[in-house]
């Protein structure tokens, strides 16, 4: 067990060094910080103007969580849809393109260790993207007293949703040697999981299933400070399922090699 954890940690560390050592990762984080900052400015300006109108109109104080944080985190989930395919596109595809996948598969490492190491490495970069936003959220305490509980659960929900996208992207990357194809296919798959819930009302008896499979329908409670077991089960089952498929894809690649 200790040896397995050591091997997973070694692969994850290698992935993190490769990701953070690449200018693409820093450009991605910079681009993300710029986009998030733009959303932040728009919602902050709107929130302050609404607060002034409420103050002079005799209304009560504005709720920072509902009026500012929840919309920001909602837009963060939209950014994930576009940016996370760029995180996972090279995990396996680059190994295949450069030929190093053969060295990796013939090393004394199990498929589980390889997949989990790459998965945790990608998760580390996603954690960096989440970390960039914390300074913005902390600044909101200058304008009010946000309740920290919905913030924590909201970030936890974003972590779970983003991890789902990473798991799908990891599997798709394991099926191709072209990074652009991996990124495009991951985006299409994520977009499908995003919009499937839109068709629930017109899907008849399939409606409840479409609504349940929608990856966004499970995030709303987290942003309200509620952690529901059914949402945890969905996200964790989703992640395990796609990691299992990645494991099988890696095993097939080992046999082909």
Q: What is the 3-state secondary structure (H, E, C) of 9-37?
A: HHHHHHHHHHHHCCHHHHHHHHHHHHHHH
Long-range CB contacts for residues 49-55, cutoff 8 Å, separation at least 24: none
C-alpha angle 184/91/20, rounded to 5°? 105
Domain boundaries, the chain: 2-256
What token pair was written down for 215? 């990856």
Beta-carbon contacts of 133 under 8 Å, excluding residues fewer than 6 positions away, are 36, 76
DSSP letter at 62 equals P
Query: What pTM does this model have?
Result: 0.88
What is the predicted pLDDT for the residue at 247? 92
Residue of 239, 248, 28, 249 lying closest to 119 (CA atoms) = 239
Query: Could you say which residues of the chain have pLDDT below 70?
Result: 1-2, 51-62, 143-144, 203, 256-257
What is the predicted pLDDT for the residue at 6? 84
What is the predicted pLDDT for the residue at 57? 57
What is the predicted pLDDT for the residue at 62? 63
Count CA atoms closer than 13 A to 6's CA, side-chain side.
4
């Amino acid at each position: 067990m200790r040896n397995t954890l050591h091997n997973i940690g070694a692969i994850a560390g290698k992935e993190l060094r490769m990701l953070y050592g690449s200018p693409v990762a820093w450009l991605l984080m910079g681009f993300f910080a710029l986009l998030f900052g733009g959303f932040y400015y728009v919602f902050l300006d709107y929130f302050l103007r609404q607060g002034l109108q409420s103050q002079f109109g005799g209304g009560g104080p504005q709720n920072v969580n509902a009026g500012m944080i929840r919309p920001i985190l909602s837009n963060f989930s939209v950014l994930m849809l576009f940016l996370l395919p760029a995180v996972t596109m090279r995990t396996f595809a680059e190994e295949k393109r450069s030929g190093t996948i053969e060295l990796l598969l013939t090393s004394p490492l199990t498929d589980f260790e390889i997949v989990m190491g790459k998965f945790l490495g990608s998760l580390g970069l996603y954690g960096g993207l989440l970390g960039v936003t914390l300074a913005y959220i902390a600044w909101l305490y200058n304008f009010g007293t946000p309740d920290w509980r919905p913030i924590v659960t909201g970030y936890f929900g974003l972590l779970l949703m983003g991890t789902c996208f990473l798991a799908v992207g990891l599997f798709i990357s394991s099926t191709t040697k072209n990074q652009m194809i991996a990124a495009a296919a991951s985006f299409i798959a994520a977009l499908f999981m995003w919009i499937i819930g839109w068709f629930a009302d017109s899907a008849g008896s399939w409606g409840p299933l479409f609504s349940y499979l929608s990856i966004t329908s499970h995030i709303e409670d987290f942003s309200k400070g509620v952690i529901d077991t059914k949402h945890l089960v969905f996200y964790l089952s989703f992640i395990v399922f796609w990691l299992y498929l990645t494991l099988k894809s890696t095993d097939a690649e080992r046999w082909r090699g």
